[in-house]
Structure 1
Amino acid sequence: MPPKGQLRDPSLKRSLTLFRAFLREQQDPDHTYTLLARDAADQVESAYGPLAGRTVVDVGGGAGYFTREFQRRGAEAYLFEPDAGELGERPDAKAVRADGYLLPLADGVADVAFSSNVLEHVDDPATFLSELVRVTKPGGLIYVSFTNWYSPWGGHEWAPWHWLGADRAVARYRRRTGRRPKHTLGENLFAVHVGPTLRQVRARHDVRVLSARSRYWPFLAEAVPKVPVLREFATWNLLLLLRRCP
């Protein structure tokens, strides 16, 4: 086990398991997101210690897979989600419909502020990150991951054709499926990049970067995001682990 605050590179078996699950996401979302929630909770505990008795806020957690996994491990976990449709017909009792830009929480109430694959869906990532930091207590952990634009999955359901331009990728998706895509660039999907995000976070005085890594790579997970240009394509999904400073 690595020291608290650090993550070791995950195994090839773990990466392959997650990749296979993502290939079945449309057919079996329960399996995919239950598996991903367990993996994310493992990462949080590696960086911060056991979740039992901790207060966790899951911002933009959709149907609540991550929230339920945190609760299963003994955390006081709360879900904040702006889209009522994502919450489903029977949302968790501790689910709140709220915007990630303005969380209905006092300063410093959370041990862990958690956000998985949300940053690419907000048009002002800096404000979103600031709100996560605000609600986290000094010494607490901020966990943020997002799919960067030039990742093979950056265009989401119309990837990887987004590399040829969003309009062309969307047109191809509509021809192939006969329906409109869920995501529209500039409305609910935004081009967020690794380099600018890292520079923005490192310039802050209220957080310390514990780790900036590719979330799913089985090796050299922290090395890939350090290489300009390459990181924009090879990171796939950037994971930031931040410590809230006093």
Structure 2
Amino acid sequence: MRATDPFARQATLARSVRLLGEFRFEQSDPPRFYGALADDTVALVTALVDGDPAGSTLLDVGGGPGYFASAFEAAGLNYLGVEPDASEMHAGPAGEPGAGTFVRASGMALPFADDSVDVCLSSNVAEHVPDPWRMGREMLRVTRPGGLVVLSYTVWFGPFGGHEMGLTHYLGGARAAERYARKHGHRPKNDYGSSLFAVSAADGLAWAQSTGMLVAAFPRYHPRWAWWMTHVPVLREFLVSNLVLVLRPS
């Protein structure tokens, strides 16, 4: 059985359409959007875990406002969230009862011992740090041998690579950020060069393969029949949108 088989059965066209519909609520109704994304992320991670995930310790690198915490706790996992931005942590349910435990720290220097967690997750964070593969190495370091590392990120040349800047990122990241600032009177939250970086699918695959621990790579929001795109150079940069790297530390 392939590593992705348990999740592949859930990766239907109906799921893709449902998630795409939720994206329009990211700015106007964050609890709705992130709640739907949290439920889907729990389904993804628990399907990839070997055996019953209940009682496992999950570290969420870049846990943000904490919308994932209650969903993972409800699934029986012990949730730890890492977030460097205090304002981001206070923008949601982080710290509330049942919302796991949060630590303010950088994903590129995780304050945890080697081999100390069962599952390490990073959802849509790699494109926001200047050295995403340093963060990836930290995730592998803190995960026990035989555990699970899931690193999912937005591919720069995909349609969502520019985040709130929309498709203008195809004009160049710096130019898109300047254009956004002129139009809205302030810099974008995801500002190219400081809080948003161009991360390619090729770079992620190359790093993951170099570790010798990669067991699967696939587009996060695509139905199973479209996963072949991951294996086609150039095409994957534009069509994969969000790449999932699944690694098992040894």
Query: TM-score by structure 2 length?
Result: 0.91
Question: What does the per-residue CA deviation read over 1:48-106, in whole Å, with 9 as the maximum and x for residues that have no partner?
Answer: 14331001001101011112211111111111110001100763261110111111111
Corresponding residue SS for 1:66: helix
Residue 188 of structure 1 and its aligned partner are, at CA, apart by 0.9
2:8 paired residue number: 8
Q: What is the CA deviation profile of residues 172-229 of structure 1, one whole-angstrom value per residue up to 9, with x for unaligned ones? A: 3234333321122111111100012101110113x2x222000001233431110000
Deviation at 1:153, TM superposition (A): 0.7
What does 1:5-154 correspond to in 2, within 5 Å? 6=5, 7-8=7-8, 10-48=11-49, 49-88=51-90, 91-92=94-95, 94-154=101-161
Contact 2:174 2:193 in 1 (8 A): no
**Alignment gaps of 5+ in structure 1:** none
Partners of 1:3 and 1:195 in 2: how far apart? 22
Q: Which has the higher helix share?
A: 2
Query: Is contact 2:162-2:169 (8 Å) kept?
Result: yes
Give the SS at the match of 2:245: strand
- Give % identity: 43
For structure 1, which segment, 156-165 or 176-185, has the greater mean C-alpha deviation from structure 2 after superposition?
176-185
AA aligned opposite 1:108 = D
Which digits, 9 at most, give the CA deviation of each residue in 1:23-45, with x for residues without a partner? Answer: 12111110111111110110111
Matching residue of 2:239? 234
| Contact 2:8 2:224 survives alignment (8 Å) | no
Taking a change above 3 Å as real, the CA distance of residues 243 and 185 of structure 1, as seen in their structure-2 partners, is: same
1:188 maps to 195
CA distance in 2, matches of 1:126, 1:168: 26
Contact 2:120 2:139 in 1 (8 A): yes
Which structure 2 residue ranges, 5 or more long, are not aligned?
Answer: none
Q: CA RMSD in A?
A: 1.7
Counterpart of 2:221, as a letter, is Y
The amino acid of 2:204's aligned partner reads T
TM, length-normalised to structure 1: 0.93
SS in 2 for 1:220: helix
Structure 1 counterpart of 2:166: 159
Aligned CA distance change for structure 1 residues 171 and 101 (closer, same or farther; 3 Å): closer
